[in-house]
Amino acid sequence: MMEWTDRHCRYFHRILTRRARLYTEMVTTPALIHGPRARLIGFDPAEHPVALQLGGSEIKALAECARLGEAQGYDEINLNIGCPSVRVQRGAFGACLMREPSLVGDCIAAMRAAVRVPVTVKCRVGVDDCDSEQSLFGFVETVSRAGCETFIVHARKAWLKGLSAKENREVPPLEYELVYALKRARPDLTIVINGGILTLDDADAHLTQVDGVMLGRAAYQTPWVLADVDRRLFGANHSAGTRFEVVEAFMPYIERELAKGVPLNVMTMHILGLFNGLPGARAFRRHLSENAIKRGAGLDVVRAALDHVRDVPAGRAAA
């Protein structure tokens, strides 16, 4: 979710759900150690509970970045062993580390020694032509010995050669039953399932087999799916309100960030999918896309986009 789940996105998602745990985009250890730290891992207190997702394979660097994340106030530090992109492979981290469980275990041990908050792993079921069951079970066995108690498993292999990052999210078959089997074999661990989960009905079904569900692109592209998470999955009795009320609740944040010099489109890009499936959704998206990028664009652009949705006659086909 690099360049997607930034702090503006997470603030917006927190309006939709108070209870779901939010994850940052993956931040690489060199970027965090040498780059603009406040911009990379700064967040609003409203985002809690929120986890920092790190990418890297150098033990000392990961321990240092875990310390930085804890000092910033994150509730969890997550190590990404699932990203298959070519750029990530060149850095010798991400999904290629599925082949090096001992190194991952050493990284986890060092990170856990550096912080008091939980350190977790996000992984795949395997890579390339490996046996998925042997790969996943062996990886989890080794890394859990280093003290990792929570594994977020994207239920697909990653093909490190021959498939793009996008294809790796769609082409390898989903192996949900394998993740269920992992939970049965390791009831002592917290197993969270990820991959191809689009609805809360899907999530409910998975939760009969595992401890948690992670939504990725579905939550970003159709964010309204998050609006019923607290009631459906946590038994809460509060509501996010209507889509219009959610945007209104986001506006004070937008106004504050505009005053700091943040361009409007950097924030509104995350709400483009809010009205998907409803009449006027296309007009809403178009107005924001065309006008939020303009110099000096402000809240009037957002309000005008909402008017496009309201102005569509009832019963007109959704776009």
Q: In angstroms, rounded to a whole number, what is the distance separating the alpha carbons of residues 78 and 70?
A: 11
The question of whether 123 is a catalytic residue gets the answer no
**Structure token digits, residue 97:** 């580390």
Using alpha carbons only, how large is the chain's radius of gyration in Å? 20
Query: Within 13 Å and on the Cβ side, how many CA atoms surround 147?
Result: 14
Helices and strands, counts by H and E, the chain: 16, 8
Q: Which of 92, 89, 84, 165 is nearest to 127 (CA)?
A: 84
Q: Count the neighbouring beta carbons within 10 Å of the beta carbon of residue 269.
A: 19
316 neighbors 295 (Cβ within 8 angstroms): no
Give the active site residue among 9, 65, 83, 107.
83
Work out the burial of residue 19: count CB atoms within 10 Å of its CB; fewer than 13 is exposed, 13-18 middle, 19 or more buried.
middle
Q: In angstroms, rounded to a whole number, what is the distance separating the alpha carbons of residues 226 and 216?
A: 11
Work out the burial of residue 138: count CB atoms within 10 Å of its CB; fewer than 13 is exposed, 13-18 middle, 19 or more buried.
middle
3-class DSSP state of 311: coil
Where do we find the tokens 């964010």?
Answer: 223
- Where helices occur in 91-226 by DSSP H, the ranges are 101-114, 132-145, 165-168, 176-185, 200-206, 217-221
Q: In angstroms, rounded to a whole number, what is the distance separating the alpha carbons of residues 223 and 276?
A: 9
Query: Within 13 Å and on the Cβ side, how many CA atoms surround 141?
Result: 7
Could you give the residue numbers annotated as active site?
Answer: 83
